Copies of this chain bind each other. A is one copy, B any other.
Amino acid sequence: MATAAPKTPSPEIRSQIVASATKFFSRFGFHKTTMEEIARNIHKAKGLIYYYFRSKEELFNEVLRAELQAVKDELLVIVRSPDDAIHKITEYIRTRYELLNRAVNYHETLKADFFEKYHFVKDVRDDFDAFEQEQLTRIIREGSEDGYLQLRSIEPTVNVAMMIIKSIDIPLFLQDKYAEYEQTIVELLTMITRSFQNQRKE
């Protein structure tokens, strides 16, 4: 969805723009960043950005997409590792919070939810949610098939996990409670591990 304006003429310039935009969006946010300064920073005219991107919103989308793609990539390493499901799940959640804690553009869209703005960013966020749902389902299903986890059904478990994980995002990233909650999250992971171990077959 939402591809660039023409056929991406010069990839170098395009990525220069994205790099510059990332720098400013990350530091000042969407509204306090101007297209003018994004362009000036790479010694180009503002009009040029519109040769590569349809709008400021599309450019922000690109930045956000890249930010979340980096998180996805790192999480996939964990999901695809040969470890057991319990280890994967705890590592996934722990790493997820650690990485997202630094994803400031994602934070901004989280906050925007409260003002019911930033509709233009919905696709990227939905995509990330779908990714997470998929990965958690995969981990839990595999652990279940290996007989490592014993669950009555997978879907409700994933739903609950998603609800909790996403809910905690808000105090964590919008209210800066990462430091405060970090230890409790570790305790939560320990509890999950123990809970699964007690339910393990054999």
Interface residues of A (CB under 8 A from B): 111, 113-114, 152, 156-157, 159-160, 163-164, 166-168, 170-171, 174-175, 181, 184-185, 187-188, 190-191, 194-195, 198-199
**Residue numbers in B under 8 Å from A171 (CB-CB):** 166-167, 170
Given A156-B187, A195-B195, A198-B199, A163 and B175 contact (CB-CB distance below 8 Å):
no
**Residue numbers in B under 8 Å from A157 (CB-CB):** 191
Establish whether residues B168 and A184, one from each chain, have CB atoms under 8 Å apart when the complex forms.
no
Per CB-CB distance, the 9 closest pairs between chain A and chain B, nearest first, are A167-B167, A156-B187, A167-B168, A160-B188, A163-B184, A170-B170, A195-B195, A159-B184, A160-B187
A-B contacts, 20 listed (Cβ < 8 Å): A113-B175, A152-B194, A156-B187, A156-B190, A156-B191, A157-B191, A159-B187, A160-B187, A163-B168, A163-B184, A163-B185, A164-B167, A164-B168, A164-B188, A166-B171, A167-B170, A167-B171, A170-B170, A170-B171, A195-B198
Establish whether residues B160 and A184, one from each chain, have CB atoms under 8 Å apart when the complex forms.
yes
**Residue numbers in B under 8 Å from A159 (CB-CB):** 184, 187
Establish whether residues A114 and B184, one from each chain, have CB atoms under 8 Å apart when the complex forms.
no
With CB as the reference atom, state the residue of chain B lying closest to A152.
B194
Output the least CB separation between A169 and chain B (Å).
8
A184 to B155 Cα, complex, angstroms: 11
Output the least CB separation between A89 and chain B (Å).
14
A111 to B111 Cα, complex, angstroms: 12
**Residue numbers in B under 8 Å from A175 (CB-CB):** 113-114
Establish whether residues B160 and A191, one from each chain, have CB atoms under 8 Å apart when the complex forms.
yes
Output the least CB separation between A184 and chain B (Å).
5
A175 to B190 Cα, complex, angstroms: 30
A199 to B160 Cα, complex, angstroms: 20
Establish whether residues A114 and B174, one from each chain, have CB atoms under 8 Å apart when the complex forms.
yes
